[in-house]
Structure 1
Amino acid sequence: MKFKSLTKWIFAALMMAAAVPFAFAQQAAQTPYQSQELSDGDGIPVLIKHLPNWENLRDRTAFVRDTAALKAALGERPIFDLVDFSAGTEAVTAPYQAGKLLIIEYTTPQVSVESDAKFIARLGELGDTTTVYRRIGNYSVFVFDGTDTAAATELLEQVKYEKNVQWLGDDPYYLKRAERAFINTTSGIFTSTVFVILIGIGLAITGGLIVGITYFTLRVRRRAAMTAYTDAGGMTRLNLDGFTPDIVPERLLGE
């Protein structure tokens, strides 16, 4: 009895061991791309999804990892001699109305910067006016065979470098970012405070001028409406010594 049970367990283990490589083989068959970064859901390289409107261009998209495949997709171009795929560089290309778009992704910013300098120098030497180039993050983005520079530039602006850097340990730039955020926040508060104070002073001055002018105008109108004016009748005098003559009413100005 124990022998039969042990046999069943061994048979089950063998079946599971045989199913594992079959599952991996089936997954590899369903994933036609070989890339360093594949999407979890469909197995499509993330670089392809960074193409503008990539869903409608899947049948005309070429994902390349070597110079031969790149030249096969876009033809012989002198600039391709500068592309080095040995360090894990990958590229994707697709045709658009503005031109043929090529995105080359480098594994490190250093390689991207070095390649960017080489591409700019070579394009300057060739004097190619039909090619529009720009470095976007670790991407070197080209638009070939374009007839409208504005349309090609607009196509380049639709390419976004969406990579997030996560530190396994402590972020060495955390304090710098916090300091920059504090400075920006403080400067914003200071600017807003000064702006509000200046607005308050301006409103106070404007309100004071309006009230003063209104009061002065009313006083002028009131005086202009008077036929005569004297303050003698409104004064009270004390004749303490008996020598001060009394005010004769006939000498007062009448109304």
Structure 2
Amino acid sequence: MIKPFKTILTITATIMLAAFTQLSQTPERPKYDSQELSDKEGIPVIMKHLPDWKNKVNEAIFITNSADLEKALGDRPIFEQIEFVGGAEAVAANYPEGRLLIVEYASPQASSETDSAIRMKLAESSPTPPIFYKRIGNYNVFVFDGDNETAAIALMDKIKYQKVVRWLGRDPHVRRRAEQSFIKTTSSLFVATVIVIVSGLGISVLLGIIAGFIFFGIRERKRMRMPTFSDSGGLTRLNLDELTPPIGPDGMLLKD
């Protein structure tokens, strides 16, 4: 009777030990509910695109919904144009230039549509203090509560979108890029042609002046080497028209 009881007790203890071991080995749930986490730091990749991110990562706020966005930056009318759909996420951090917000969308289409809505909203109203905005790849970037536009733009320029953007359908900007490329190429060709023509004319004039000076110098040196002479009184003229009176032995004209 005791032996079966010991067997049951041993089996129960073994099962409990295995369960405890399994629970202890269960991976810890990630701190951030992000679409893309950094393998090394375990933080959302978007946070690593903050300017000076190593010093800002501990105070930066990761955002995945409108409620968190309003909690982090307050209730702002421009936030009506931002929708956290399709895996969109954002990060906010404070800088001397202002409060920076980066919103990332999973596709360029979503980012482009949000960009159009934001620009239209900003054109309709003039918020005070001003909102500085820029689209960088799939990032829609804001600087709030700043009063220096140059500093805000410089802060946004530090953000680099390093992912490859692929449109799921036809790229709506392909025609505009083609037009810009054509204009740039044509302008460069026109400027290069004008420069070549003007340079050719300038070089021709310069070479002509140099050749003229050389030719004049050669002629002048030849003239200086020629002996000085005078034909005074020794001029010979054929008196075919019989208008010139005869010349005497002393070189004087004879009179009738």
Normalising by structure 2, we get a TM-score of: 0.63
Cα distance in 1 for residues equivalent to 2:33 and 2:82 = 19
Over 4 Å off, 4+ runs: 191-205
Cα shift at 1:214: 1.5
**Contact 2:132–2:143 (Cα < 8 Å) also in 1:** yes
The 5 Å alignment of 1:100-115 reads: 100-115=99-114
The 5 Å alignment of 1:45-84 reads: 45-84=44-83
Cα shift at 1:155: 1.3
Structure 1 residues 198 and 78, CA gap change in structure 2 (3 angstroms): closer
Partner residue, 1:33? 32
The 5 Å alignment of 1:1-255 reads: 25-26=26-27, 28-29=28-29, 31-130=30-129, 131-165=131-165, 203=203, 206-207=206-207, 209-225=209-225, 226-228=227-229
Structure 1 residues 82 and 212, CA gap change in structure 2 (3 angstroms): closer
Cα distance in 1 for residues equivalent to 2:193 and 2:114 = 48
Normalising by structure 1, we get a TM-score of: 0.63
CA deviations on 1:113-133 (whole Å, 9 max, x unpaired) are 211122122223332142111
Structure 1 residues 150 and 205, CA gap change in structure 2 (3 angstroms): closer
Cα shift at 1:141: 0.8
Gaps of 5+ in 2: 1-13, 168-180, 232-256
* 2:91 maps to amino acid: V
CA deviations on 1:40-74 (whole Å, 9 max, x unpaired) are 22222111111111111122100110111111111
Cα distance in 1 for residues equivalent to 2:122 and 2:200 = 58
Structure 1 residues 206 and 166, CA gap change in structure 2 (3 angstroms): same
Cα distance in 1 for residues equivalent to 2:222 and 2:210 = 18
Cα shift at 1:164: 1.6
Structure 1 residues 208 and 141, CA gap change in structure 2 (3 angstroms): same
Max Rg structure: 2
Cα distance in 1 for residues equivalent to 2:118 and 2:166 = 30
Higher helix share: 1
Structure 1 residues 39 and 68, CA gap change in structure 2 (3 angstroms): same
Equivalent residue of 1:60, what SS? coil
Equivalent residue of 2:103, what SS? strand
Gaps of 5+ in 1: 1-10, 168-180, 231-255
Equivalent residue of 2:58, what SS? helix
**Identity of aligned pairs, percent?**
43
CA deviations on 1:25-45 (whole Å, 9 max, x unpaired) are 43x44x411211111222221
